[in-house]
Amino acid sequence: MREIDQARRAAHHGPMPDLPPDPYLLPPPGDWFASDAAHHLLDKPKFCPSCASSLDRGLTTEWWSGHERIFMTWCAACRWTGNVVLFDKAIIEEPEH
């Protein structure tokens, strides 16, 4: 594969920020899944929504529904399981007081 094609495939999400240390090996830059794996590492929940413990010992897997990125999460500290959904914009209505 030509280097230009590899660079084009790896850049489909735009420039990447510096990645935090990863105990798992990310795919080599330019591989078909490299930018998705890097974005998963950056965007996955870091703390439990229920107890605020670190999710380092928990489990997090990502899946998609349409344009939504959904992280199925399990916390080892409090045993909470649930979905964390990333979104670009939220419209919240608050009743008048």
Which CA distances in Å does 11 have to 4, 16, 39, 71, 76?
A: 11, 8, 12, 23, 35
**6 against 64, higher pLDDT:** 64
Give me the pLDDT at residue 96, please: 85
Summarised one tens digit per residue, pLDDT across range 17-75 is 777 776 667 787 788 888 888 888 888 999 999 999 999 899 999 998 888 889 999 99
**pTM for the structure as a whole:** 0.62
Place of tokens 């419209």: 91
pLDDT digits (tens, 9 = 90+) for 70-92: 999 999 999 999 999 988 888 88
